[in-house]
């Protein structure tokens, strides 16, 4: 069935495909003996099935719905508080919000024991190093400054002897476009220091 015009490799493959396969007649018996030698799986008790670790996956849609449901439960439960006598009371968040001041006093602290000059720079002072110099607090190496800030989100950093440093106690902000590390602080009305 081979044509003399076919490639020699095709003829070799065709010859191998036509060759009968020789199997060991005792192979089936050896395989079945190995299967029978395996122990029979034991049924798990109820409590073993309960405590057995499991993994499961959630689709992004189900995960989002679950997260939204948990946030909703938190919002509903957050409006209800317990008094000291154990009775529930609903707190009026609107009345509290009307009593808050416009500006908040905020204290910034940075640890730089070997620094000679530390300044606070941020979006609240035009990133000017001369506007908010910090004061060394004794020999502890802590530099502090306290200033009023409006409520909201503020980007800032510390200028330590001319080197830009992020606040290690606050979250980092995104890249400022100049390669400087910045921190972000959210100031709530009336909450400070």
Q: Give the CATH number of the domain where residue 170 resides.
A: 2.60.40.10
The count of domains in the chain is 2
Same-domain status, 140 and 68 = no
Reference 127, options 174, 176, 169, 193; nearest CA is 176
Q: Is residue 167 part of a domain?
A: yes
Q: Is residue 53 part of a domain?
A: no
Reference 172, options 155, 187, 148; nearest CA is 155
Q: Is residue 131 part of a domain?
A: yes
Same-domain status, 91 and 117 = no
Predicted model pTM: 0.46
pLDDT (tens, 9 = 90+) of the chain, 193 residues, equals 445 567 888 888 888 888 888 778 888 889 889 989 988 878 878 888 788 887 778 888 888 888 899 888 877 776 665 544 555 555 444 433 344 344 788 889 999 998 999 999 988 888 888 999 999 988 888 999 998 888 888 889 999 998 889 888 888 877 677 777 888 888 877 655 5
Give CA separation, 4 vs 7, 9, 66, in Å: 8, 12, 70
Q: Is residue 25 part of a domain?
A: no
pLDDT the model gives residue 101: 47
Between CA 110 and CA 138 the distance in angstroms is: 13
Q: Which domain holds residue 63?
A: 59-99
Same-domain status, 159 and 111 = yes
């Amino acid at each position: 069935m081979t044509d003399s015009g076919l490639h020699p490799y095709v003829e070799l493959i065709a010859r191998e495909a036509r060759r009968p396969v020789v199997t060991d007649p005792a192979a089936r018996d050896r395989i079945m003996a190995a299967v029978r030698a395996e122990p029979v799986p034991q049924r798990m008790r109820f409590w073993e099935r309960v405590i057995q670790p499991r993994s499961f996956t959630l689709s992004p849609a189900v995960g989002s719905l679950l997260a939204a449901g948990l946030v909703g439960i938190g919002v509903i439960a957050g409006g209800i508080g317990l008094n000291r006598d154990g009775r529930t009371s609903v707190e009026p968040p609107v009345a509290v919000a009307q009593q808050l001041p416009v500006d908040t006093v905020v204290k910034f602290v940075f640890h730089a024991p070997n620094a000679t000059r530390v300044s606070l720079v941020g979006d609240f002072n035009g990133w000017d190093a001369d506007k908010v110099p910090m004061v060394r607090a004794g020999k502890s190496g802590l530099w502090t400054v306290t200033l009023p800030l409006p409520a909201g989100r503020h980007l800032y950093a510390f200028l330590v002897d001319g080197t830009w440093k992020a606040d290690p106690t606050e979250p980092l902000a995104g890249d400022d476009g100049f390669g400087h590390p910045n921190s972000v602080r959210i100031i709530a009305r009336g909450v400070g220091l």
